[in-house]
Structure 1
Amino acid sequence: MRHLFATALFATTFAATAVSAAPERYELDPDHTAVMFTVDHVGYAATLGIFGEVAGTFMYDMETQELSDVQVTIASKSVNTFHDARDNHVKGSDFLNVSESPEITFTAEGGDPSGQNSGTVTGDLTILGQTHPITLNVTLNKAEAYPFGHKRFVLGLSIDGSLKRSTYGMTYAVANGLVGDEVDIRIETEAMRIE
């Protein structure tokens, strides 16, 4: 009888662990997600830009820290560099060409946890209709139920990486060095578990 009880307890515990270890889907909180970039301007200073319209989902396994099925969409027209004339230029054909390419997308099938609460994710970034691989560094800042408001389980993530805009056909002012080719990216987001 004691052996039967122990076996049943183990089976129940194992089942609970298996259920809790399953990957779960999260969605980016649009009110707490910022996609930022900096790019060199004539060697004097870096210009900051932010995309204000971002949506996305992904799967995350709390036990293995594996990230998968990442789908993120950014509205190109939502770019803001805090200068109206520059914003109009960035939205035009020299840069983002928002009338022809209204979305920037990032998709990834898996991540690579490298340590406690950190790792990388490699996926496909599409800008101006051109798709190329990019690797981003990901840090998990916090994972627990939100203390107020919606009170859903939330992951706080910091993400960074870089790309060469010429890779995507955005070559304006690269050759003469007026605008840098390398673009540094930083993303701060709170992602809510879909229940």
Structure 2
Amino acid sequence: MKNILTTAALVASLAAAPVFASTKNYTLDPSHSQIVFSYDHLGYSTTYGMFSGFEGTINFDQQNPAASSVNVSFPVRSMLTGWEGRFEHFMSDDFFGATADELVTFTSTGIEVTGENTALITGDLSLNGTTKSVVLDATLNQAGEHPMEGKQWAGFNATTTLLRSDYNVGAFAPFVSDEVEVMISIEAMEN
């Protein structure tokens, strides 16, 4: 009887103890992660470009998202513009003057949870030799076991607006919009 009472007391104390969620490490799935950017071209059109196939990690705590972090990097020259002439112009000294190994990096510095599946992710964006703080308006699309991979997976969308001139790539503004709309959609797999 004494053993049963002791066991019952131990179980009750464990049930009452706080649960400490742990942060899980996720690696971006380069085949399902894209950054799409757009800007106004002389009022005639909206022009789009994309970065894809990039690398990064997310330390994700689903129970306490504010304890999570993000770190992403990719080569400037991995930009896709849909037209070789535009790509070459962007890589010229008019804009990036990008070398083959020049990277764009984003490292989160804080996360403010704003809703059940939303947060503002503040971080340092380094681009074209300049680092500035930016805020991503992020949404957790889904987290759970991937039906084909059989392991934990997470998907996020995020948006932000950047000023080209903040990163010394503001040529032809204001005729070509200084503001660039950025849309991000990523998937990541637990390590």
Cα deviations across residues 48-106 of structure 1 (Å, max 9, x unaligned)?
Answer: 00012311012111112225332110211111111111111112222222217711000
- The correspondence for 1:186, drawn from 183, 186, 189, is 183
Distance 1:165 1:101 in 2: 21
Equivalent position SS for 2:7: helix
Question: Rg: which structure is higher?
Answer: 2
- Kindly report which structure 2 residues correspond to 1:123-162, keeping only aligned pairs within 5 A, or say none: 123-148=123-148, 150-162=149-161
- Kindly report which structure 2 residues correspond to 1:1-195, keeping only aligned pairs within 5 A, or say none: 1=2, 3-13=5-15, 17-18=19-20, 21-66=21-66, 68-99=68-99, 102-148=102-148, 150-174=149-173, 177-194=174-191
Distance 1:165 1:145, change over 3 A: same
The answer to which of 67-76 and 117-126 deviates more is 67-76
TM-score by length of 1: 0.89
Distance 1:12 1:53, change over 3 A: same
Identity of aligned residues (%): 31
On the 8 A contact 1:140/1:158 being kept in 2, the answer is yes
TM-score by length of 2: 0.91
Cα deviations across residues 97-122 of structure 1 (Å, max 9, x unaligned)?
Answer: 22177110000132111110101100
What amino acid does structure 2 have at the position aligned with 1:182? E
Distance 1:125 1:8, change over 3 A: same
Distance 2:82 2:66 in 1: 36
Give the gaps of 5 or more residues in structure 2. none
On the 8 A contact 2:158/2:183 being kept in 1, the answer is yes
On the 8 A contact 1:118/1:140 being kept in 2, the answer is yes
Of Structure 1 and Structure 2, the greater strand share is in 1
